[in-house]
Amino acid sequence: MKTNLEGTSLQIRIKTSSESAQIVSNRLISQKNAYIVNMDTVYNFKLNLDWKLINAISKVDRFDASWSVIERTEGTSLRQLKEIATIKSVGASTRIEGSKMSDKEVERLLDNLNVSKLKDRDSQEVAGYFTVLDMMADAYQDIVISENSIKGLHNVLLKNSEKDGWHRGDYKQHSNAVEATNEEGEKTIVFRTTPPGFPTEDAMRSLIAWYNNDTDTHPLVKSAIFSYDFVSIHPFQDGNGRLSRLLASLCLLKNGYRWIQYISFEHEIERFKGLYYKRLMECQQNRPHEDVSDWVLFFLQMLNNMHEQLMKKLEVKGRIAQLAPREKSIYLFIHNHSGCRSSLIAKKLGLTTSTTKRILSKMTNDGLITRHGRGASTNYST
């Protein structure tokens, strides 16, 4: 295919000799083997279709092409990974917005969830995020991308907070801004958003209409741009960051990327939180009609990181299944008691200290567990 890249003509041809290449081709283009890409705009934004972007899209789609085979052979492991990913997603996305709850605290809360006892804001946000994530996992195919659906998801996201009752499920009534919270709890303004009232209503209708009617843009790019413009509009008084990440996952699921349920998208963004806000701010400060190439590339890089981690986790699961009974019991104990020390493992499993330390050392070197701290504070997690 031919495309115009910064004033030069660039010849790009995607070979279709293999299944994965065919899928990449089909998603990148509307004709059987090749098509012309408009380099000027996607929706309201500029986007450079350079080799970095094409390669990032291709890597995600090559993995996605192999997923159905992996899914059929890894049933039990995937169920376990989905539970872990859910905890990580809930914890990470709420922490990005300022929550202080660790993954372990999130897990304990969700294991004994009682909405009548959710008094603090962190717990309310965790419960709301979990509920929406759970809804999406069960019914993503039935959730349409519409104003009513998005307002409904926002209502559920904030349903446990009485102080948010006046605005949940409705577009904002007052001006707001995108803020970043550092480790000390201090907030800085990243970007000033679309004004409330008609500007927000018009912007949301336009975004949703584009998403539902554009059949040419690759779904990965559409998902990245949809989540970007949503958080840039900031249509609700609160909860926009959390909902933007949920909507990104929803768009990906609806476009067939089922594997994102088994590795946390939100956790990956939390790992690169500084770069996440940097990419948003660099694009948003040039609104309107800004170049979103760096944001889209960041989004794709997160997905590529995720599928690489997912394959590593599945590899580890396979190796765990082959462990001897004693080694497997140690692994399972650590998995269920994250942060435990060797002395506790030895005591609970009836092993000698030397045997426990020897096995822990080998499992750490093999990449099955992670060691934290030094000396007497050394502890382990899976």
Do 380 and 371 contact (CB within 8 A), yes or no? yes
Structure-token pair, residue 66: 């192999």
Q: Label residue 91 exposed, middle or buried (CB < 10 Å: 0-12, 13-18, 19+).
A: buried
What mean pLDDT is predicted for residues 76-85?
85
End position of a domain, from candidates 300, 318, 336: 318
Q: Is residue 191 within a helix (H) or strand (E), and if so which, with residue range?
A: strand 187-192
Q: What angle do CA 223, 182, 372 make, to 5 degrees?
A: 90
How confident is the model at residue 12, as a pLDDT?
30
* Bridge partners of residue 181, in order along the sequence: 187
- Mark whether 114 and 15 lie in a shared domain: no
Please tell me the distance from the alpha carbon of residue 368 to that of residue 357, in angstroms, as a whole number. Answer: 14
Tell me if 349 is assigned to some domain: yes
- Mark whether 83 and 118 lie in a shared domain: yes
pTM: 0.78
End position of a domain, from candidates 291, 318, 345: 318
* Bridge partners of residue 178, in order along the sequence: 191
- Mark whether 143 and 195 lie in a shared domain: yes
Tell me if 81 is assigned to some domain: yes
What mean pLDDT is predicted for residues 138-163?
95
- Mark whether 167 and 260 lie in a shared domain: yes
- Mark whether 90 and 6 lie in a shared domain: no
What mean pLDDT is predicted for residues 135-155?
97
Give the chain's mean pLDDT.
86
Please tell me the distance from the alpha carbon of residue 127 to that of residue 90, in angstroms, as a whole number. Answer: 8
Query: What CATH number has the domain bearing residue 275?
Result: 1.10.3290.10
Please tell me the distance from the alpha carbon of residue 41 to that of residue 175, in angstroms, as a whole number. Answer: 28
| Separation in Å, CA 151 to CA 81, 168, 227, 239, 334 | 30, 8, 15, 11, 41
Q: How confident is the model at residue 201 (pLDDT cuts 50, 70, 90)?
A: very high
- Mark whether 250 and 370 lie in a shared domain: no
CA 170 to chain centre: 25
Q: What angle do CA 234, 223, 2 make, to 5 degrees?
A: 125
What mean pLDDT is predicted for residues 77-88?
88
- Mark whether 310 and 346 lie in a shared domain: no
Tell me if 47 is assigned to some domain: no
Tell me if 302 is assigned to some domain: yes
One-letter amino acid for residue 198 of the chain: F
- Mark whether 171 and 213 lie in a shared domain: yes
- Mark whether 188 and 303 lie in a shared domain: yes
- Mark whether 197 and 282 lie in a shared domain: yes
- Mark whether 138 and 285 lie in a shared domain: yes
Tell me if 60 is assigned to some domain: no
DSSP string, 210-263: HHHH--SS-HHHHHHHHHHHHHHH--SSS-HHHHHHHHHHHHHHHTT-GGGGGS
Tell me if 53 is assigned to some domain: no
How confident is the model at residue 2, as a pLDDT?
35
Q: 371-381 b/e with 16+ CB inside 10 Å = b?
A: eeeeeeeebbe
Query: What CATH number has the domain bearing residue 351?
Result: 1.10.10.10
Tell me if 183 is assigned to some domain: yes
How confident is the model at residue 36, as a pLDDT?
36
How confident is the model at residue 40, as a pLDDT?
65
- Mark whether 24 and 173 lie in a shared domain: no
- Domain of residue 29, residue span: 2-40
Give the number of domains in the chain: 3
Give 318 or 110, the one with higher predicted confidence. Answer: 110
Tell me if 58 is assigned to some domain: no
End position of a domain, from candidates 279, 294, 318: 318
